[in-house]
Amino acid sequence: MDTDNLYGQLKAILIDQFELDESSISPDADLYDELELDSIDAVDLLVQLKNITGKKISPDEFQDVRTINDVIGALTNST
Amino acid sequence: MKLLFYVYRFIGTTLFWIFFGLIGLVYGFVILPLVYLVVRNQESRQVIARNLIRGAFVVFVWVARNMRLIRCDVSGMEHWDAGASQLLLANHLTLIDVVILLSLFPQIDCVVKAAVTRNPVLRVSAGTANYISNRAPDELLDFCVERLKSGSSLLLFPQGTRAIRGEPLKFKLGAAEIALRAHATIVPIVIDCNPQMLAKNVPWYRIPPSQPRFRIKLLPPVPVAELVSGDVEPRRARHRVNESLVSMFEAELA
């Protein structure tokens, strides 16, 4: 799946399920500081994305995720 | 005299770790793989492996105490109910917290960090005892909830890593979330170790200036429902549970 498509799906989840404002979402938005998700929200988010992409995220990768771009990076890199 | 005791403790600690390492090797290479191969039934394999591991940990704690490398006072053991499913939450200061706690509570579940499961020898050991490995964060939550619901007790360190004694406590939300999802009964375990030994990034040979004293105190069990009143949105609920837990620990450690 390409990154634009993934970004679109991610955005849809954030708006529908986390009730975020569309205007607050950008690739550089910080999940924790700007979007005010907590770590459990982030896990829930990853579960939903995993269902779409089929990629698992390791705890180490997860530690490094801060922004929406990081999420997409973690989901698209193949290592 | 004090210097002499320091030198004694240094030599004693070295001998202790050699002993610890040797037993670890025998367990990792011989005993637990043997249990894995011989006992085919998964349930009895887990029971046997956990009893063996606890046995070794009881011996380690006994040796460390009797060599006068540590002092260790445990209180509140009446709050532990071996027949119930309890979520044991402890703060984390030293490398041997888990050794002391697993020596106290037979057959409990615990989470083993991913680095351990990447090591082939440790993976067989942890796998034989069927401990939960910390792989993907979402799976970890589900696994922990499932184990609690199936009736076992689970030990977690909500800080996720060793902290510095005296610094403000910071718990990760995962423990509160697991408690909420499993409707668990929480037993807080307050650990103090003065002076702190075997802290994060401190090598084992840098022993503390005086003999460390562990104080381990179990607080009365709290059903998680008592920490959140009424119908609270999940995000608020876990933050509230987390804050109550942190204040319980801070009141004890103050």
Is the pLDDT at A79 greater than 80? The verdict is: no
Q: Do B136 and A60 touch (CB under 8 A)?
A: no
| Residue B191 φ then ψ, to 5° | -110, 130
Averaged pLDDT score across all residues of chain B: 93
Neighbours of B76 (CB within 10 A): 15
First-to-last alpha carbon distance for chain A, in angstroms, is 16
- To the nearest whole Å, the CA of A58 is away from the closest chain B CA by 5
Rounded to whole angstroms, the Cα distance separating B188 from B45 reads 29
Q: Do A59 and B239 touch (CB under 8 A)?
A: no
Q: State residue A68's pLDDT score.
A: 87
Q: The tokens of B239 are what?
A: 């933050």
B178-234 pLDDT per residue, tens: 999 999 999 999 999 999 998 888 888 899 999 999 999 999 999 999 999 777 888
Interface pTM, i.e. ipTM: 0.72
Is the pLDDT at B76 greater than 90? The verdict is: yes
Q: State residue A59's pLDDT score.
A: 67
Smallest CA–CA distance from A45 into chain B, residue: B138
Q: Which of B216, B181, B218 is nearest to B88 (CA)?
A: B218
| The residue to which tokens 């409707």 are assigned | B183
Is the pLDDT at A4 greater than 60? The verdict is: yes
A&B contacts, CB < 8 Å: 37
Q: Do B138 and A59 touch (CB under 8 A)?
A: no
Report the percentage of chain B scoring pLDDT > 90: 80
Q: Do B138 and A44 touch (CB under 8 A)?
A: yes
Rounded to whole angstroms, the Cα distance separating B187 from B88 reads 5
Smallest CA–CA distance from B178 into chain A, residue: A40
- For domain A3-76, give the CATH number: 1.10.1200.10
- Give the start-to-end residue ranges of the domains of chain B: 2-253
| The residue to which tokens 């180490």 are assigned | A60
Task: Considering only the beta carbons, identify the residue of A41, A56, A60 that sits closest to B235.
Answer: A41
- Give the start-to-end residue ranges of the domains of chain A: 3-76
Q: The tokens of B234 are what?
A: 């999940």
Inter-residue contact B238 to B179 (CB < 8 Å):
no
- To the nearest whole Å, the CA of A53 is away from the closest chain B CA by 15
Counting DSSP H helices and E strands in chain A, the numbers are 4, 0
Rounded to whole angstroms, the Cα distance separating A72 from A7 reads 7
Task: Considering only the beta carbons, identify the residue of A38, A46, A57 that sits closest to B173.
Answer: A38
**Long-range contacts from B56-65, C-beta under 8 angstroms, 24+ separation:** B56/B23, B56/B27, B57/B99, B57/B100, B57/B102, B57/B103, B58/B103, B59/B23, B60/B16, B60/B20, B60/B23, B60/B96, B60/B99, B60/B103, B61/B99, B61/B100, B61/B103, B63/B16, B63/B19, B64/B16, B64/B96
Q: Which of B98, B90, B85, B88 is nearest to B187 (CA)?
A: B88
Q: State residue A1's pLDDT score.
A: 59
Rounded to whole angstroms, the Cα distance separating B30 from B51 reads 16
Q: The tokens of B242 are what?
A: 């987390």
Residue B72 bridge partners (DSSP): B214
A56 at interface of B, judged by CB pairs closer than 8 A: yes
B122-151 pLDDT per residue, tens: 888 899 999 998 877 788 999 999 999 999
pLDDT confidence tier of residue A78, bands split at 50, 70 and 90:
low
Residue of A31, A32, A39, A40 to mutate, interface with B, max B Cβ within 10 Å = A40
Q: State residue B230's pLDDT score.
A: 74
Smallest CA–CA distance from A55 into chain B, residue: B136
Report the percentage of chain A scoring pLDDT > 70: 95
Chain B CB contacts of A55 below 8 Å = none
Taking residues B76-93, report their average pLDDT. Answer: 96
Q: The tokens of B185 are what?
A: 């009964």
Rounded to whole angstroms, the Cα distance separating B148 from B129 reads 16
Q: What is the dihedral of CA B229, B235, B239, B244, to 10 degrees?
A: 20
Inter-residue contact B146 to B109 (CB < 8 Å):
no
pLDDT confidence tier of residue A70, bands split at 50, 70 and 90:
confident
**DSSP code at position B165:** T
- To the nearest whole Å, the CA of B115 is away from the closest chain A CA by 10
Is the pLDDT at B103 greater than 90? The verdict is: yes
Inter-residue contact B190 to B91 (CB < 8 Å):
yes
Taking residues B232-243, report their average pLDDT. Answer: 91
Counting DSSP H helices and E strands in chain B, the numbers are 9, 8
Rounded to whole angstroms, the Cα distance separating B58 from B62 reads 6
Residue of B112, B133, B138, B178 to mutate, interface with A, max A Cβ within 10 Å = B138
pLDDT confidence tier of residue B111, bands split at 50, 70 and 90:
very high
Is the pLDDT at A50 greater than 60? The verdict is: yes
CATH 3.40.50 is held by the domain B2-253: no
Q: State residue B138's pLDDT score.
A: 82
Rounded to whole angstroms, the Cα distance separating B46 from B128 reads 6
